[in-house]
Chains A and B, each alone.
Chain A
């Protein structure tokens, strides 16, 4: 991280930590994991499956809420409150500011996910289940959740560079939901008789990020192995997508008048 993006990232993290909404999210995540323990106790023989399923879903959902709602405000809040005016008078380029804000939120999401993971581990420990080799897939599933969150954050940041927080939230959510069903949209297009619909489905499939590939919750819950090739593929895919989104965000934000 450069000398200018680092301080912005740390300040973004500090803001999130001092924001009470963040603590509420963590609190609710812990409640969810508590619920997992409860459900686990009444699900004789399948405690692991239920706890892992519920725990990972909670981590993913709360991460998603944070990524979208904090992500769309990363730039717009600074413009609206005019905190950017004194900051951009310092020797910092606009793209460095954007990358710093992005890195700060990613750091926040990673630390929160880490805390939630500890909660999940505690829940598994509570039901007296020793750690076994297939649990590696839980760690990989969490890593995939983080990759998806990195993508969602980049999308939210991209939209917040040129639209209002409400529209940015809608756009990001729409793309996220479309991305979950990207493969289904492609398959639906293949079945369609209209060449126009076929082409449209293909364009959507290639344009929106494929979030379906980042969902390894079911595999982790069932203790199935996740191939390394998928880990490499998802990492590369997310890295490329995030880079492109950050480049586009920088291009838009670098020419924007800050009134």
Chain B
């Protein structure tokens, strides 16, 4: 049996904070997670949740306080692991004195390709991310979206098996976002594993086989987007309007939201029939009744809200 694409075991990271009295602040708390080959995994969480910290730990840019991780069975401490991975940092910044063509050629030199192979790859990738016509423009003249595309190109330049993308849709217009989504889907079709962090939940819902939700440095839940949604209690939405000139009872109005002459009211599944009876007796015209499937966004917001009220940050090891 082959090793999982990504295996994270108890990964923890504490950062020192304060100038005179150094204290340690926990940014990531015992993260344990496994991503299988060929999966698209969405790593969700608000700003400061620990998503970028996790990615930096996996890339070897920072070192864990505790725990370890393996990519395709190879420890993250082993430089050979980097042959199999691609990484797009959050808000990527590249050598702005280089053109995109030069940048990609530079990065391709770390993957033992011949000069001809390098040239072919660079051209193919520039074309794939829509930068072929801007390939000879210095990166300092690129827009944020163009830089993001250049970043994606360098991440997949050497055909890595596992691709880590930190907020890949950030800074992109709707067309650009769709193009990146297409690239991610293409990568999956090629059998690649994609691990991407995002706070744009619709992207995660649309693309991911599984998602993990991180908040306050702790993993709150992992599962298929559908599974995570089904955890929630479903609700029913009733759309109604007043019949004739007769006003609706006040207690009903307090529970409803007015939308141009009509009213929308959400009730728990169990409370549907009593609510309908009450509306009927109040002479309201029921326009529609539809089940409300809570989105991943609802789940996410609820988690974050809970986390914020509970413990916004974890402090350990005061010294």
Contact = CB atoms under 8 A, between A and B. Distances in A.
B61 A88 contact: yes
Contacts of A92: 79, 82, 110
What bracket does the count of chain B residues touching chain A fall in? 20 to 34
A86 interface: yes
Given A7-B110, A18-B97, A83-B93, 10 more contacts: A3-B112, A4-B110, A14-B98, A83-B95, A84-B61, A86-B87, A86-B107, A86-B155, A93-B79, A258-B56
A232 to B, nearest CB: 36
Contacts of A18: 97
Nearest to A92: B110
Interface in A204-259: 255, 257-259
Contact of A88 (B15, B59, B97, B109): B59
A137 to B, nearest CB: 39
Interface of A: 3-4, 6-7, 11, 14-15, 18-19, 81-93, 255, 257-259
Nearest to A91: B82
Contacts of B85: 89
A250 B94 CA distance: 23
Contacts of A82: 89, 91-93
Nearest to A15: B97
B146 to A, nearest CB: 15
Contacts of B273: none
B164 to A, nearest CB: 8
A15 B96 CA distance: 9
Contacts of A258: 56, 61-62
A86 B154 contact: yes
B47 interface: no
A14 B112 CA distance: 21
A127 B301 CA distance: 80
B195 to A, nearest CB: 13
A71 B137 CA distance: 28
Contacts, number: 77
Interface of B: 15, 56, 59-63, 79-80, 82-83, 85-89, 91-95, 97-98, 106-107, 109-112, 151, 154-155, 164
A8 B112 CA distance: 14
A81 B56 CA distance: 15
24 contacts: A3-B109, A3-B110, A11-B98, A15-B97, A82-B89, A83-B94, A83-B95, A85-B61, A85-B89, A85-B92, A86-B88, A86-B154, A89-B87, A90-B107, A91-B79, A91-B80, A91-B83, A91-B110, A91-B111, A93-B79, A255-B63, A258-B61, A258-B62, A259-B62
Contacts of A81: 93
Contacts of A3: 109-110, 112
A257 B82 contact: no
- Main secondary structure, interface of A, reads loop
Contacts of B82: 89-92
A257 B87 contact: no
Nearest to B61: A258
B62 A257 contact: yes
Nearest to B78: A91
A84 B82 CA distance: 14
B93 to A, nearest CB: 5
B27 to A, nearest CB: 10
Nearest to A90: B110
**A4, A18, A82, A89 — most chain B CB neighbours (10 Å):** A89
Contact of B151 (A14, A86, A91, A257): A86
- Please name the 3 residue pairs, one residue from A and one from B, whose CB atoms are nearest each other, closest first: A89-B87, A7-B109, A90-B110
Nearest to B91: A82
Nearest to A79: B61
A87 B112 CA distance: 15
Contacts of A83: 93-95
A105 to B, nearest CB: 15
B62 A7 contact: no
Contacts of B83: 91
Contacts of B155: 86
A85 to B, nearest CB: 4
A2 to B, nearest CB: 11
Contact of A89 (B80, B86, B93): B86
Nearest to B151: A86
Contact of B95 (A4, A11, A89): A11
A90 B103 CA distance: 13
A19 B96 CA distance: 11
B302 to A, nearest CB: 31
